Amino acid sequence: MDMGSSSKSWFPFVILIIILGGTIGFFIFGENASNVRQSSIPPKPGCIAMQDNGDYANSIDVVFLPDNYKNVDEFRESTSQMVDAFLQTTPYSESGDMFNFFRIENLNLNLNCDYDYGGDAIVCDPSSAKGAAISCPHDYVMVAVDVDGVQKLFELLRSSAWMGIASLNTDDDPLVFTHEFAHLFADFADEYEYGGDVSWKAPNCDPNWQTCPMFQVVERYDCVKGCVNNQHSRSIKTGIMRDYWKSKVYGDYNEHILRNIIEENTKEDGLVGLQKSMPLSMVEVRFSKGNWDIISVVESEGFPDGKNTGTVGGDIISVLDEDGKIISELSLAKPRLYLDGHDKEGNVKQNVEEIESTIIIALPKTDEDSQIIVKQKDKIVGSYNIKRSSSENIFNYNRKSVEIPLIYSV
């Protein structure tokens, strides 16, 4: 038999089987295929997508801003390196499609960065950073700082994180972003003993430092004394939250916590989404003496702050419609300032402090009468009425003063 002729005669049947198999597979797996996340409506002009999987309302959206850069290509390179390192880190490597990354490539932003905070740290103003980020979908704002020309003497300037904003020294290891992100996203403490106080329930520090019952939800964990102080233990001897120069992993327990927060923060909740830019209420809120207060509200347009900020707690800012129904809400992160870095010899320098501060919150503006409220432990401590003028189709922003009770002391 001529084997060549036989092969040719069977070839059309093979092609037909492949086509039929693909068609059947489409109908069998069509539901899963339809769940592939796609970019929807593009960001506003000036917002450049680094990785845009769309579905902004149910994704974790990160925007990078430049500070002190003279060359946009250097800004692109440093931020790309940080995102690459982040997406190669477990558990983010398992759920990279749940994250969107953007850049604003305007090198003339005024972010009011202090390069000498505490003598050796970079801290950028959160209100300035949040105001500059509204042209992009954003849950978190990362200020990438080029320290070229900044007086450093014998120190590497430390990076910082607080109130949804991180100020990153791009001279540092690219994992500095991964480290600071965990502060903001999971409220992780530094796993280094510098003698500070763990004044909050840091999920990665077990106060039962001898037995570490917190960590026993995973099979593999350490119970190593020392997490901020010697009254707490950490779950890994050396991980990213201790020293990202020496480790590229968080450790199994920390990864477990992060996975849970990622899952919780990417669920649909039916509130106002972030699929496109919209009119905004830019709400200035101040944290002072343990309380939040609404200072002012002005109009703008762009993307409202994302709800997927990882923050869990009793402090919430909400937009209510005229019937009192919640339209949009998000948690308010306490102004807990993390300062992280190394000296020239590679020694870790870290500390955290809770300070009074003011931040801008971008909330969606409705087409009807509405109210903005701030709640602490289910008690309304501040409100702002927004009245729509039907004759002129404009909004009037009217402050409603309230007596703010002392809920707790810092």
Say how far apart CA 394 and CA 400 lie, in whole Å.
19
Question: Apex CA 327: angle with CA 141 and CA 371, to 5°?
Answer: 95
Residue 51 pLDDT grade (very low, low, confident, very high; cuts 50, 70, 90)? very high
Domains in the chain: ranges and CATH: 278-400 (2.60.40)
- Residue 340 phi/psi, 5-degree rounding, is -135, 145
Cis peptide bond prior to 405, omega within 30° of 0 = no
pLDDT at 367 exceeding the cut of 80: no
Segments in 153-250 forming alpha helices (H):
175-186
Neighbours of 391 (CB within 10 A): 5
The whole-number average pLDDT for the span 66-83 is 96
Q: How far apart are the first and last CA of the chain?
A: 90
Lowest mean pLDDT among 13-27, 119-133, 364-378, 383-397: 13-27
What DSSP character marks residue 54? -
Q: Choose between 217 and 396: higher pLDDT.
A: 217
Whole-number Cα distances in Å, 282 to 130, 131, 309, 361 = 10, 8, 18, 6
H or E, element range at 4:
helix 3-28
**Highest mean pLDDT: which range of 99-108, 126-135, 294-303, 383-392:** 99-108
* Dist. CA 250–CA 92, nearest whole Å: 11
The angle formed by the CA atoms of residues 181, 42 and 60, to the nearest 5 degrees, is: 20
Quickly state the pLDDT bin for 36 (edges 50, 70, 90): very low
Residue 155 scores a pLDDT above 80:
no
Could you give the CA distance from residue 198 to residue 21 in angstroms, rounded to a whole number? 58
Judge contact between 386 and 396, C-beta under 8 A.
yes
| Of 222, 178, 382, 192, the residue nearest 287 (C-alpha) | 382
Inter-residue contact 177 to 166 (CB < 8 Å) = yes
Give me the phi and psi of 32, to 5 degrees please.
-65, -40
H-run or E-run covering 189: none
Nearest to 169 by CA among 240, 121, 241, 117: 121
H-helix or E-strand spanning residue 96 = none
More confident residue, 352 or 364: 364
Q: How big is the CA angle at 288 (ends 285 and 290), to the nearest 5 degrees?
A: 110
Q: Give helix then strand counts, H and E, for the chain.
A: 6, 20
pLDDT higher than threshold 50 for residue 399? no
Q: How far is 63 from 48, CA to CA, in rounded Å?
A: 9
Roughly what angle, to the nearest 10 degrees, separates helices 175-186 and 252-265?
60
Instruction: Give residue 329's pLDDT.
Output: 82
Q: pTM for the full model?
A: 0.79
Q: According to the model, what pLDDT value does residue 382 have? A: 86
Task: Kindly tell me if the per-residue pLDDT of 369 is higher than 90.
Answer: no
- So what's the pLDDT on residue 15? 45
Between 365 and 245, name the one with better pLDDT. 245
How far is CA 64 from each of CA 101, 348, 407, rounded to the nearest angstrom? 8, 25, 35
Q: What average pLDDT is seen over the chain?
A: 80
Q: Give which of 80, 78, 218 is closest to 159, Cα–Cα.
A: 78
